[in-house]
Copies of this chain bind each other. A is one copy, B any other.
Amino acid sequence: MRSEEMAVTIKDVAKKANVSISTVSRVINDSKPVSDEIKKRVFDVIEELGYKPNPVARSLVMKKSKLIGVIVPDLKNYYVGELLNAIEEIAKTYEYDIILCNSYGDLDQEKRYLELLESKQVEGIIFLTFQFEGVHKEFFEKTQLPVVMINREAPFEGIMTVSIDHYAAVKEMTSKLIEMGHKDILMIRNGETKDVFGPDHLRGYEDALKEAGLDIRKDRIVDGHFQRSVAYDLMKQVVDSGDLPTAVFATTDSMAVGASNCLMDHGYKVPDDVSIVGFYDTDLASIYRPKLSAVSHPIYDIGAIAIRMIIKYIDGHEIKDSQVRLPHGIVMRESSKEK
């Protein structure tokens, strides 16, 4: 079929260099002193033969796969992309490789991947899910693997997390809008349950309104889904009702864009008729026109911290703080204006 020329092994190197394989092992790992002369000889042979240690064999004896599993709900998403940029980059730095699993946000798929990754001997798992329910209890209860979840509350003991302070972020952005003269703000959340910050978003929104002495209209809080189309449809209902808010705050850039598109498609002007602000400040926010105002998350840093936490844990270091909160920002662009 094709020339399967046997790869060169440590044995070949040993033979050619006239030393034992242990010596070769020692020089490539620099694990024990080896005389300079032999060391040089071995390196020369390695070079000559183009020898590369077989990581599989190494894994077998070391019981370390140097693999970290990453489960994400979608690859076609700037947030996920940026997160992966960070995770992949830092992991490589520590000589870890990333095994990618795309769950499409499906619960069963997630569970299957969790188990698959464990059986594939990954040394840790980074788990990103937009699911609303606290899930996969059985898995998390029995696994020995370190797991860090992105942008969630820890649903179980022992799970590490990295996110921003959602309550503070939502409150700050809402207050900002109020400051700009908005008294009727529609909030489109992307989930209600505890572990995805739904309640924090609600509290942040309501507290900001309360502090400003504004009324809280229950019908101005709607629950969407991280996808654009759902927000579009939700916005459509509001448009049809004829009772437009002066501002819309969506807890996802995609949803913000969905709402904005709906408004513009129906003849309204953003931000002249309605201001729109998003959440995350992904690339989409600056690509879109009008440029989207948004709560910004340090997405790259979140990924970077997540992967570092895992590796630290693997290396046996103690994790002093397993629930990391990073600072957020508020970026006002063209999609919002004073009322």
Q: Which residues of A contact B (CB under 8 A)?
A: 1-5, 52-57, 59-60, 65, 70, 74-78, 80-82, 84-85, 88-89, 92, 97-102, 118-121, 144, 228, 257, 260-261, 264, 283-284, 287-289, 316
List the B side residues contacting A287 at CB < 8 Å.
228, 257, 261, 284, 288
Which residue on B lies nearest to A66, using beta carbons? B120
CA–CA, A10 to B248, complex, Å? 58
Which residue on B lies nearest to A113, using beta carbons? B92
List the B side residues contacting A70 at CB < 8 Å.
100
Which residue on B lies nearest to A282, using beta carbons? B76
B81 & A75 in contact (Cβ 8 Å cutoff): yes
**Distance between A125 CB and nearest chain B CB, rounded to angstroms:** 13
CA–CA, A56 to B82, complex, Å? 30
List the B side residues contacting A121 at CB < 8 Å.
54-56
**Distance between A320 CB and nearest chain B CB, rounded to angstroms:** 15
B85 & A76 in contact (Cβ 8 Å cutoff): yes
Partner of A59, one of B56, B78, B97, B98: B56
Which residue on B lies nearest to A118, using beta carbons? B52
